[in-house]
């Protein structure tokens, strides 16, 4: 009995001890602190050592026997220490131990996911750890971010965008998550996804202007112009108070797409004036990036904010067709070409997903690892993002004059473009290559890529070598042309002449003829023929202009008109336009002016004219004064065999001798150009190819400037191109100067 009683007591004590031990063990486990719990001083010391990278001391403290510290927490910290030292196996062991010891330990899942992502690179395992960690703690924002990047690498960019959306709805600024989302969505042309998700994001964060701007831009790039306009109109007050420059830019884009050209140009100019910072200026520059030269690109990067605003004025004015009007046709044509290439010539970034998505994103305007190496020289064209090589050529030079295409059995598509020579470019040829959907992935992402050699020679490409093509590409990437004309083109010929004015200024004489049809038929009642000449300096500020209007019944039979403008010394740009209000016909001309006469011996421009039209000049002219207003020039500079040519030019700053007399020799030389002949041929035909007329001319006393009106009777020159050289030698100062002009001789027609 006694033994049984004692045994029963010991048994009860054992049961009591076991229950208490189990209770305290369960209590300790349930009390395992999370990251938000208050840590003990011992735990805080360990975390401090880890933050200070004193991993050995932290590890020693973790291994010290301490009944108070929960074991799961210890394993979590050991796993983090080993991960920092890139000991991935040890880190994996301790983090798995922490998960086993404590159910629902979210931080252990997240740390293990980071180990898989950074060490063994088991991305799918990492994804699952982040996924299960979020089931235990949905506020761990890093997990959303890492899940999204893993999906972009292993599966598809759209999957990654979907994974980012819950994070964005919680906190768009976390790790610049929205920057990642928007950059990828725009780079890969995921406009449908942007158009679906951004309204929800705007609803969650209604004060964010950035989301609204991106939605407007996405709608525009996707071709939903009316929706973009409605949103711009609805949000005008909110956006224009914060970012007026971006509102004007997007409004101008949309209005240009809706063919409200003049409103688009006016709005764009308002936007330039409203730019407040470099970021807003860069948004404008991204659209212009496709047509700037390398020098313009490099200069832009070094400019201040005010200089960048001035840059856009110069950029568009220098490419304007008419110059004289406030409207810029090249601006409208540029955005028309942009919209076309955004639709048909898209480029996707290279699919180097690991480097692309696991690095920090910068502004893609200056992001080197997305750039595609070109055959051309221009840094600017290398920086384009959204369109392929063909799109860049199209934006710069418009539609080709001729093209050839073929598809081979291996699904390699080839295309060649040919541009005829024009006033603002030589002949150019380009070859493009594109891999089909089943042939590969890299070149498909790049779209149409420039090739340095012909791909399918035909009659019009077989004579072009790789060197010719390289030259075309190099030229095309540093220049830009308009390559489009008005619907009704007014044909006329014009030229300009420079004569010395008072006080170092220059008299610009601009001569042009009226179209033959207008001369023959006149203008209908109420119609106006507007002629405008404008002169701009190097910064494209207007320094002079003159207008002339003709109405019904005021057109004279003499087709040659002249306009005078006085300009200072320097380099200038001139623009002339002619508009017929009766039918909307237009004509336009641009030209460069170098207005600088020497203070020493110098020669004016040389006017070439027909004798029959200028007999009055010889009969009535006072040759002690300028005759520029009397001479009627031959603007084409085309003459027939045996014609008499009239030359007019002025000589400035002749030197007088002690007796006040001037002494100069004027030599007129004509030679044929553009004809290659052998030595014997040149000797046999020397008299036909070369003529010299020497005039020993002694001016009147005190006459430092001479006004030379000279007639020449052409011998029976062969038809062709010729060059006239005017050489003046001043015997008193032993100075000389020379001016040159080209002209054409045509075969005489006998009736």
Q: HEC string of 199-265? A: HHHHHHCCCCHHHHHHHHHHHHHCCCHHHHHHHHHHCHHHHHHHCHHHHHHHHHHHHHHCCCHHHHH
Give the least confident one: 269-283, 397-411, 679-693.
679-693
Per-residue pLDDT at 94 exceeds 70? yes
Mean pLDDT, range 384-411, rounded to an integer: 77
> Which residues, in sequence order, are bridge partners of residue 586?
489, 579
CA trace torsion 106, 111, 117, 118 (10° rounding): 170
Mean pLDDT, range 232-250, rounded to an integer: 95
pLDDT attached to residue 680: 55
Place of tokens 């207007």: 542
User: Which among 162, 163, 168, 171 is positioned nearest to 192, based on CA atoms?
Assistant: 162
Mean pLDDT, range 228-246, rounded to an integer: 95
Confidence of residue 27 (pLDDT cuts 50, 70, 90): very low
DSSP tag of 317: H
How far is the C-alpha of 459 from the C-alpha of 444, rounded, in Å? Answer: 29
How far is the C-alpha of 287 from the C-alpha of 303, rounded, in Å? Answer: 18
Confidence of residue 728 (pLDDT cuts 50, 70, 90): very high
CA trace torsion 682, 688, 689, 694 (10° rounding): 130
Give the DSSP per-residue string, 664-710. EEEEEEEEEES----HHHHHHTHHHHEEEEEEEE-PPTT--SEEEEE
Question: Could you tell me the CA-to-CA distances from 575 to 510, 528, 709 in Å, in that order?
Answer: 10, 20, 29
**Exposed, middle or buried by CB within 10 Å (0-12, 13-18, 19+), for 593?**
buried
Question: Could you tell me the CA-to-CA distances from 48 to 54, 469, 545 in Å, in that order?
Answer: 9, 65, 76
8 A C-beta contact, residue 321 and residue 329: yes
Mean pLDDT, range 14-25, rounded to an integer: 41
Q: Mean of the per-residue pLDDT values for the chain?
A: 80
pLDDT attached to residue 437: 47
Angle at 550 between CA 544 and CA 556, to 5 degrees: 115
CA atoms within 13 A on the CB side of 330: 22
Residue of 107 and 695 predicted with greater confidence:
107
8 A C-beta contact, residue 645 and residue 715: no
DSSP tag of 416: E
How far is the C-alpha of 275 from the C-alpha of 297, rounded, in Å? Answer: 19
The model's pTM: 0.79
**pLDDT (tens digit, 9 = 90+) per residue, 471-518?**
777 677 666 777 677 788 898 999 999 999 988 899 999 999 999 888
Give the least confident one: 105-119, 406-420, 553-567.
406-420
How far is the C-alpha of 644 from the C-alpha of 711, rounded, in Å? Answer: 7
8 A C-beta contact, residue 496 and residue 591: yes
Confidence of residue 200 (pLDDT cuts 50, 70, 90): very high
Confidence of residue 237 (pLDDT cuts 50, 70, 90): very high
User: Which among 495, 256, 459, 285 is positioned nearest to 380, based on CA atoms?
Assistant: 285
Highest mean pLDDT among 358-372, 390-404, 417-431, 497-511: 497-511
Paired tokens of 510: 């601009």
The rounded percent of the chain whose pLDDT value lies above 70 is: 74
pLDDT attached to residue 441: 46
pLDDT attached to residue 430: 82
How far is the C-alpha of 67 from the C-alpha of 730, rounded, in Å? Answer: 111
Residues in the chain: 751
8 A C-beta contact, residue 654 and residue 662: yes
pLDDT attached to residue 700: 63
H-helix or E-strand spanning residue 532 = strand 528-536
pLDDT attached to residue 375: 42
How far is the C-alpha of 265 from the C-alpha of 329, rounded, in Å? Answer: 9
Confidence of residue 742 (pLDDT cuts 50, 70, 90): very high
Per-residue pLDDT at 580 exceeds 80? yes
Q: Which long-range contacts (CB under 8 A, 24 or more apart) does 48-56 make?
A: 50/77, 50/80, 50/81, 50/84, 53/84, 55/81, 55/84, 55/85
How far is the C-alpha of 507 from the C-alpha of 502, rounded, in Å? Answer: 9
pLDDT attached to residue 751: 56
pLDDT attached to residue 140: 92
40-132 and 598-751 agree in CATH topology: no
How far is the C-alpha of 151 from the C-alpha of 105, rounded, in Å? Answer: 24
| Fold annotation for 140-216 | 1.25.40
Per-residue pLDDT at 378 exceeds 80? no
Residue of 307 and 448 predicted with greater confidence:
307
Per-residue pLDDT at 21 exceeds 70? no
Confidence of residue 130 (pLDDT cuts 50, 70, 90): very high
Per-residue pLDDT at 545 exceeds 80? yes
Place of tokens 């992502």: 117
H-helix or E-strand spanning residue 379 = helix 379-382
Residue of 642 and 424 predicted with greater confidence:
642
Query: In angstroms, how far is CA 369 from the centroid of its own chain?
Result: 19
Q: Please, what sign has the CA dihedral across residues 39, 44, 46, 52? A: positive
| Fold annotation for 598-751 | Immunoglobulin-like (2.60.40)
Give the least confident one: 75-89, 167-181, 448-462.
448-462
Confidence of residue 384 (pLDDT cuts 50, 70, 90): low
Residue of 216 and 488 predicted with greater confidence:
216
pLDDT attached to residue 369: 31
pLDDT attached to residue 483: 67
8 A C-beta contact, residue 444 and residue 437: yes
Confidence of residue 11 (pLDDT cuts 50, 70, 90): very low
For 273, the 3-state DSSP assignment is helix
Per-residue pLDDT at 604 exceeds 80? yes
8 A C-beta contact, residue 389 and residue 448: yes
Q: Domain boundaries in the chain?
A: 1-31, 40-132, 140-216, 243-344+353-366, 371-476, 598-751
pLDDT attached to residue 564: 92
Paired tokens of 232: 């711009």
How far is the C-alpha of 440 from the C-alpha of 435, rounded, in Å? Answer: 7
CA trace torsion 16, 18, 20, 21 (10° rounding): 160
pLDDT attached to residue 420: 83
Mean pLDDT, range 239-250, rounded to an integer: 96
How far is the C-alpha of 485 from the C-alpha of 427, rounded, in Å? Answer: 18
For 653, the 3-state DSSP assignment is coil
Per-residue pLDDT at 51 exceeds 80? no
| Fold annotation for 40-132 | 1.25.40
Per-residue pLDDT at 698 exceeds 70? no
Paired tokens of 28: 């300790």
Confidence of residue 41 (pLDDT cuts 50, 70, 90): low
């Amino acid at each position: 009995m006694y033994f049984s009683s004692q045994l029963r007591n010991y048994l009860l004590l054992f049961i009591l001890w076991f229950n208490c031990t189990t209770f305290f063990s369960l209590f300790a486990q349930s009390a395992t602190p999370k990251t938000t719990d208050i840590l003990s001083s011992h735990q805080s010391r360990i975390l401090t050592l880890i933050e200070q990278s004193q991993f050995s001391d932290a590890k020693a403290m973790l291994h010290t026997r301490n009944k108070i510290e929960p074991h799961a927490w210890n394993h979590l910290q050991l796993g983090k220490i080993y991960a920092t030292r890139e000991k991935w196996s040890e880190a994996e062991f301790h983090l798995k131990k922490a998960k086993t010891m404590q159910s629902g330990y979210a931080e252990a899942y997240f740390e293990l996911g980071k180990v898989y992502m950074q060490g063994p690179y088991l991305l799918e395992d990492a994804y699952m750890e982040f996924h299960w960690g979020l089931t235990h703690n949905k506020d761990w924002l890093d997990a959303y971010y890492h899940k999204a990047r893993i999906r972009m690498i292993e599966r598809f960019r759209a999957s990654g965008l979907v994974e980012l959306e819950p994070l964005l709805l919680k906190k768009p600024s976390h790790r610049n998550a929205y920057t990642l989302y928007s950059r990828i969505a725009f780079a890969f042309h995921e406009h449908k996804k942007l158009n679906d998700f951004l309204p929800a994001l705007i609803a969650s964060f209604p004060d964010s202007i950035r989301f609204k701007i991106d939605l407007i831009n996405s709608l525009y790039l996707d071709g939903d112009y009316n929706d973009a306009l409605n949103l711009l109109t609805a949000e005008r007050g909110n956006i224009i108070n914060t970012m007026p420059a971006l509102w004007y830019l997007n409004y101008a884009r949309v209005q240009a797409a809706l063919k409200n050209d003049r409103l688009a140009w006016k709005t764009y100019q308002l936007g330039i004036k409203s730019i407040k910072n470099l970021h807003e200026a860069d948004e404008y520059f991204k659209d212009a990036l496709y047509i700037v030269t390398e020098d313009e690109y490099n200069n832009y990067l070094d400019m201040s904010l005010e200089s960048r605003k001035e840059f856009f004025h110069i950029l568009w004015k220098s490419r304007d067709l008419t110059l004289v009007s406030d409207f810029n046709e090249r601006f409208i044509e540029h955005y028309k070409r942009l919209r076309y290439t955004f639709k048909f010539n898209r480029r996707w970034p290279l699919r180097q997903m690991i480097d692309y998505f696991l690095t920090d994103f910068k502004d893609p305007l200056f992001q080197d690892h997305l750039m595609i190496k070109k055959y051309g020289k221009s840094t600017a064209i290398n920086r384009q993002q959204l369109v392929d090589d063909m799109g860049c050529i199209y934006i710069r030079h418009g539609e080709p004059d001729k093209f050839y295409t073929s598809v081979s059995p291996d699904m390699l598509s080839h295309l060649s473009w040919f541009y005829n020579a024009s006033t603002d470019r030589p002949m150019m040829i380009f070859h493009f290559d594109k891999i089909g959907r089943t042939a590969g992935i890299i070149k498909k992402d790049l779209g149409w890529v420039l090739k340095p050699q012909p791909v399918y020679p035909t009659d019009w490409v077989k004579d072009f070598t790789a060197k010719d093509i390289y030259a075309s590409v190099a030229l095309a990437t540093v220049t830009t042309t308009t390559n489009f004309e008005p619907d009704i083109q007014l044909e006329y010929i014009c030229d300009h002449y420079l004569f010395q004015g008072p006080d170092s200024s220059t008299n610009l004489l601009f001569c042009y003829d009226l179209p033959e049809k207008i001369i023959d038929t006149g203008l209908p009642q109420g119609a106006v023929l507007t002629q405008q000449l404008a002169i701009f300096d190097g910064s494209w500020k207007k320094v002079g202009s003159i207008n002339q209007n003709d109405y019904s019944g005021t057109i004279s039979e003499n087709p040659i008109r002249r306009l005078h403008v006085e300009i200072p010394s320097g380099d200038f740009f001139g623009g002339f336009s002619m508009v017929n209000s009766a039918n909307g016909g237009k004509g336009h001309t641009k030209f460069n002016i170098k207005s600088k006469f020497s203070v020493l011996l110098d020669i004016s421009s040389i006017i070439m004219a027909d004798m029959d039209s200028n007999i009055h000049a010889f009969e009535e002219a006072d040759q002690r004064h300028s005759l520029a207003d009397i001479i009627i020039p031959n603007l084409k500079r085309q003459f027939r065999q045996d014609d008499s040519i009239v030359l007019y030019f002025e000589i400035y700053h002749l030197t007088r001798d002690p007796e006040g007399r001037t002494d100069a020799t004027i030599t007129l030389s004509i030679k044929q150009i553009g004809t290659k002949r052998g030595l014997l041929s040149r000797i046999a035909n020397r008299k036909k190819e070369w003529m010299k007329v020497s005039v020993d001319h002694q001016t009147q006393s005190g006459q430092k400037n001479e006004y030379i009106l000279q007639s020449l009777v052409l011998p029976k020159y062969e038809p062709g191109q010729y060059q006239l050289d005017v050489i003046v030698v001043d015997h008193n100062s032993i100075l000389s100067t020379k001016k040159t002009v080209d002209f054409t001789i045509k075969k005489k027609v006998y009736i």
